[in-house]
Amino acid sequence: MPHVFELAPSGRSKCRGCGRSIERAELRFGERLPNPFTEGGEMTAWFHPLCAAYKRPEPLLQALAERPDEVPDRERLERTARSGLEHPRLVRIDGADRAASGQAKCRSCHEPIARGGLRIRIVFWEEGRFTGGGYLHLDCRKAYFETDEVLDRLLHFSPDLGEDERDELTRACGADTPGPAAPQA
Ligand SMILES: [Zn+2]
Ligand SMILES: [Zn+2]
């Protein structure tokens, strides 16, 4: 079956991208996947459309292309998804947090991440779900992602960060104003 957009019939599904509930009657994106537990079976991974644009750009773009009609925020979804195709490591971004201990090592430079420092969480998509892939120094973002356009992803997947951390992230990423970038002319 092809991937799908639909209005959630209940509030019980959770977004694979951010882990939060998808509300009843909210538009959701379903990625069809082979079910690893049943021969020839399929399963559907549900996402908020923007979460899928960040983390599963290929199936999302495929579904958008097959659906030329009404999808709210289509331009932003397409732009976001294409940035993940241009810089494939971007899709691994799972947000930012403060290191609770000094034990984790950075995936990029392999040095420890100091306790209390802001770090970027990385995940990998495997068999229909994301699994933790470690952390990066905030300052190693450019070396690892090969682009500096990470702030909107960090903020999107860090809804629990306080104002202070959001400000610190924004300043560290050298952005004037957080939030969605203006559409390209
Ligand atoms: Zn989500
Ligand atoms: Zn590093």
pLDDT (tens digit, 9 = 90+) per residue, 136-173?
Answer: 999 999 999 999 999 999 999 999 999 999 999 999 99
* Residue 176 scores a pLDDT above 70: no
DSSP 8-state secondary structure symbol assigned to residue 112:
B
Query: In angstroms, rounded to a whole number, what is the distance separating the alpha carbons of residues 111 and 73?
Result: 40
Least confident of 10-19, 29-38, 39-48, 63-72: 63-72
Q: In this prediction, what percent of the chain has a pLDDT beyond 90?
A: 81
Task: Please state the pTM of the whole predicted model.
Answer: 0.90
Tell me the ligand closest to 143's alpha carbon: 2
- The rounded Å distance from CA 143 to ligand 2 centre is 9
Q: Residues 52-92: pLDDT tens digits?
A: 999 999 999 999 998 877 889 999 999 999 999 999 999 99
CA of 99 to the centre of ligand 2 (A): 13
Cα 16 to ligand 1 centre (Å)? 7
Centre of ligand 1 from the C-alpha of residue 55, in Å: 10
The whole-number pLDDT of residue 181 equals: 52
88: which 2 tokens? Answer: 């494939």
Q: What residues pair up with 126 in beta bridges, in sequence order?
A: 129
SS3 123: strand
Q: What is the structure's pLDDT at 178?
A: 45
Q: Give the per-residue pLDDT at 69.
A: 74
CA of 112 to the centre of ligand 1 (A): 30
**Which residue bears the tokens 């495929």?**
62
What confidence tier does 102 reach under pLDDT thresholds 50, 70, 90?
Answer: confident
